[in-house]
Structure 1
Amino acid sequence: MSFLPPRPEEGDVLPASKTCLRKCWVGKFSEVKECSDFFLEGTTPSLPGILVGGTVKDPDRYKPICQKYKNSYRFATLYDTTNKIPVFSAYTFTGPFKGERPDTWMIEPQLNMINNNINDNSEMILDEGEDPYPNQAGNNDYRGNMEEKKLSRGHLFPCSHAHDQGTEDSTFTLTNIVPQKDTFNSGSWNKMECKVRNTLKDNCKDANNNIKAYVVTGAVPSTNNTLNNRVNIPDLLWTAYCCYNNKKKTWIAKAHWGENKEDVKEKNKKQNTLPSETLAKLYEKLSEHYPGVQVFPDKCSVDIPKTLRLVGGDVLMDEDVHDHCVYDDDCVCSSVGIKGHYLPVV
């Protein structure tokens, strides 16, 4: 007599299966079901020349990683071993969590194979700061001229979107990091991440009224701009989400992007705001680099009618251009004086 394991609750981290006991970078994300679940309907983005129909076009260069930490899958990353930055990271948002940010960084041991010998450690490990890694960025790569170039470590899967401490810790793997202009990272990009978090929390609920959204965040590499002559400094960062809204009984999707350059403060604002755009606009922008790009299945591509933009009497949080909050690393909004008026802390 056999017993089935209990059905996971919404927001549970998926335990690692036997499929990935030894190797957590795979030929296709679909090879590991728990990994493909980070994509809506198991459908990976289509980036012509890189990833099409779930198949990597240059498997020697691009590595699909099922990011595993403490024996559980946390998110998925397509990693560029030439530029030593992620192409994208994909994850499900199932609600916010306020934890503690770790002060250490991790790497993916499977990218350090020598003569095709698989490392027995099957999940991300602490970077011990040894010699430069041949196929990925290490902690030492993010030292040196970081301050001179005014750069910081930018998360693709932001730790503020994690739903528990283990997942938050897992975002501190360098396979989820790109060199990002410091004022951009802490300014308009951080503000966008926090506004999107609030949007997903309030508007993305499935038929069981559980919070769930699919998010993909990526980086477009530069031609020849590098950190320490090893790590590509991307020209553009982009992100998109798609989720079901059980009140309106429809799928909603939005996108944001920004050039990886220093924020220039807008008049009367202490933090710039990245505009909220449709998926169609994002595809138009990314087609400059990946002609024919598609991030989500077609059900997400329908623009949101104006009647659906009002949720609880307000516009979607990430569309609110009048939000003058200054957000910290934990997405806490501080009161900001604008011409003598003060906004409440939320």
Structure 2
Amino acid sequence: MLLVLLLAGLAWQNVPGHGEVVTSFKDACPQFFFRETPPSIGLEPPCPARICQRYKNQYRFATLYDRDNRIPVYSAYIYNPGTAKRPSTWTVEPQLIDLTFQPDMETEWTFLQKHSAHEEALEGSQAVLRDYKNLSGFNRGHLNPNSHQPDLDAKSSTFTLTNIVPQHINLNGGAWNNYEQSTMASKTEGCKETFAVVGAVPGNNFIAKGRVNKPSHVWSAACCVIDNNHLRSWAIIARNDENVVLTLTLGELERKLAELYNRNDIFLFDSDCPRE
């Protein structure tokens, strides 16, 4: 099955910009990145999947997915909070299984009703609901949180298992939640548009009998456009085993990620976004 998935991935590289799993964010859904510039190559895992997250026939945000660790490396989106209710239905990404499947995300149950013979391939391609059951001390942590999206459809699109990681339960409901709900609201005052990139650094431990990586750190960065001549940025990082968030400049976060990934340089936004 792994060989089939790898061959499918190679074949897909010759089909630019079609559907949901794409070869280039810049060609398919660049609108979610400041100056249409995705983060630098230093964050890429050995077996990546670029997903233009599609819900109800519309791209909602972008995710770089780590097929081996079955977690997102990062999700990129435009901060635009709204008051619609919180969704509760989780979805999967059919094109991570086979590129001939539909580009829109759908529920695991719906997918298996139509493609029951592909249950093993589904579990091989990505995390499934069963992986997150009966966790101790961790729960499902969104990278792109539904609270940062404007309406029910946009919020629903964040409830895909390719947008979540196993996150320390106290962090997810504590300091991290405070950043998502309060700090972002205050930091974005006066911003005409705010681009966010939120990611997870793979760790050495796993859940679900080794299927899904438990990140060592989670981080978030934002680039705010005030007007054509004025920009500002901010960033945070947290160890994924304690309820503490460290506030950093964008440049400090990029240097920290370069250290964690053992890279010379990592750039999360176009060079126009201020680093300090």
* TM-score, normalisation: structure 1: 0.68
TM-superposed deviation, 1:200? 4.8
Structure 2 counterpart of 1:196 = 183
Match 2:68 to one of 82, 85, 99: 82
**Could you tell me how far apart the structure 2 residues matched to 1:172 and 1:64 are?**
17
Match 2:153 to one of 160, 166, 181: 166
Match 2:225 to one of 210, 225, 244: 244
**Could you tell me how far apart the structure 2 residues matched to 1:281 and 1:215 are?**
16
CA displacement, residues 253-278 of structure 1 (integer Å, 9 cap, x when unaligned):
00001000132xxxxxxxx6x34210
**Could you tell me how far apart the structure 2 residues matched to 1:282 and 1:49 are?**
13
**Could you tell me how far apart the structure 2 residues matched to 1:175 and 1:239 are?**
17
Alpha-carbon contact 2:84-2:150 (below 8 Å) kept: no
Alpha-carbon contact 1:161-1:197 (below 8 Å) kept: no
Match 1:62 to one of 33, 48, 54: 48
Change (3 A) 1:302 1:184: closer
Structure 2 counterpart of 1:312 = none
CA displacement, residues 128-150 of structure 1 (integer Å, 9 cap, x when unaligned):
27556111001111114x0xx21
Task: Say if 2:263 is the partner of 1:285.
Answer: no
Structure 2 counterpart of 1:235 = 216
Task: Say if 2:38 is the partner of 1:44.
Answer: yes
Aligned residue pairs total 250
What is the letter of the counterpart of residue 39 of structure 1? F
Gaps of 5+ in 1: 1-18, 51-56, 206-211, 264-271, 304-346
* TM-score, normalisation: structure 2: 0.84
Structure 2 counterpart of 1:30 = 26
Task: Say if 2:84 is the partner of 1:99.
Answer: yes
Gaps of 5+ in 2: 1-15, 113-118
SS of equivalent residue, structure 1 residue 134: helix
Structure 2 counterpart of 1:118 = 100
TM-superposed deviation, 1:201? 4.2
**Could you tell me how far apart the structure 2 residues matched to 1:302 and 1:87 are?**
21
TM-superposed deviation, 1:229? 1.8
- Please tell me whether Structure 1 or Structure 2 has the larger radius of gyration of its CA atoms: 1
| RMSD over equivalenced CA pairs, Å | 2.0
Aligned-residue sequence identity (percent) comes to 38
- Is 124-133 or 169-178 further displaced after alignment? 124-133
SS of equivalent residue, structure 1 residue 166: helix
Structure number with higher helix proportion: 2
Structure 2 counterpart of 1:175 = 162
Structure 2 counterpart of 1:152 = 139
Task: Say if 2:125 is the partner of 1:140.
Answer: no
**Could you tell me how far apart the structure 2 residues matched to 1:262 and 1:250 are?**
35
The structure showing larger relative contact order (alpha-carbon pairs under 8 Å, at least 6 residues apart) is 2
Alpha-carbon contact 2:131-2:207 (below 8 Å) kept: no
Change (3 A) 1:259 1:142: same
Alpha-carbon contact 2:205-2:213 (below 8 Å) kept: yes
- Is 195-204 or 235-244 further displaced after alignment? 195-204
Match 2:171 to one of 184, 203, 219: 184
What is the letter of the counterpart of residue 250 of structure 1? H
TM-superposed deviation, 1:216? 0.2
**Could you tell me how far apart the structure 2 residues matched to 1:234 and 1:302 are?**
25
Match 1:299 to one of 262, 272, 276: 272
What is the letter of the counterpart of residue 235 of structure 2? A
Alpha-carbon contact 1:283-1:294 (below 8 Å) kept: yes
What is the letter of the counterpart of residue 95 of structure 2? Q
Structure 2 counterpart of 1:258 = 238
